[in-house]
């Protein structure tokens, strides 16, 4: 039973990666829309590594939270919590770019901003996966120790 869950999780993750890769322009357009509302023009690059991290969210959830004998509702709830944290940390990343305004060159206008380093979005996505995963695991262990 455990092996079947791993195969299903990997299959769903691969389908999610393909879905994200196919609709990549919509994600970038959404981020450009946010920057247009702040009178900034951003140079955004979301690489395949970011899509893989996002797409394999069910696998990361399975590995971090150890879904052995849980119902599907509990697993989906934990994946949803991780997705909300990822969205929140991507939002924090956008706010950091808007406030700091990382400029590409001093010769370009101030409203053109860039991400400070190449794995900027990967960092925020990874924090959004790791933080709730270990928080849920810590709360679960605390609950077991009380009982």
Give CA separation, 111 vs 39, 57, 70, 95, 130, in Å: 7, 34, 49, 14, 33
Domain ranges across the chain: 2-146
Q: Which stretches does DSSP call E strand in the chain?
A: 41-43, 112-114
Q: For the chain, give the percent of residues with pLDDT over 90.
A: 0
**Span 60-114, pLDDT tens digits:** 877 777 766 667 777 777 778 888 888 888 888 888 877 776 666 677 777 677 7
Mean pLDDT of 27-56: 74
Asked if residue 1 has pLDDT above 60, the reply is no
Give CA separation, 129 vs 61, 94, 119, in Å: 8, 17, 15
Give CA separation, 22 vs 17, 65, 144, in Å: 9, 29, 42
Question: How high is the pLDDT of residue 43?
Answer: 66
Question: How high is the pLDDT of residue 68?
Answer: 64
Which residues, other chains included, contact 30 with Cβ-Cβ below 8 Å and sequence gap of 6+?
Answer: none
Give CA separation, 71 vs 8, 11, 126, 132, 133, in Å: 14, 19, 26, 19, 17
Which residues, other chains included, contact 50 with Cβ-Cβ below 8 Å and sequence gap of 6+?
Answer: 121, 122, 125
Name the band, by pLDDT with cuts 50, 70 and 90, for residue 147: low
Question: How high is the pLDDT of residue 69?
Answer: 62
DSSP assignments along 2-28, one per residue: HHHHHHHHHHHHHHHHHHHHHTHHHHH
Mean pLDDT check: name the lowest of 50-54, 96-100, 109-113, 129-133: 109-113
Task: Please give the Cα distance from 28 to 24 (Å, whole number).
Answer: 6
State the burial class of residue 130 (Cβ atoms within 10 Å of its Cβ: 0-12, 13-18, 19+). Answer: middle
């Amino acid at each position: 039973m455990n092996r079947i869950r791993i195969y299903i999780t990997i299959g769903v993750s691969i389908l999610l990666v393909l879905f994200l890769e196919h609709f990549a322009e919509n994600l970038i357009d959404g981020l450009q829309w946010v920057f247009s509302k702040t009178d900034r023009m951003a140079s955004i690059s979301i690489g395949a590594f970011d899509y893989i991290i996002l797409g394999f969210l069910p696998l990361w959830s399975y590995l971090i939270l150890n879904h052995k004998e849980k119902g599907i509702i509990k697993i989906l709830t934990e994946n949803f919590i991780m997705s909300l944290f990822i969205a929140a940390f991507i939002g924090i990343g956008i706010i950091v770019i808007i406030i700091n305004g990382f400029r590409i060159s001093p010769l370009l206008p101030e409203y053109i901003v860039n991400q400070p380093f190449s794995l900027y979005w990967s960092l925020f996505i990874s924090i959004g996966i790791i933080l709730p995963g270990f928080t849920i695991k810590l709360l679960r262990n605390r609950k077991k120790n009380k009982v």
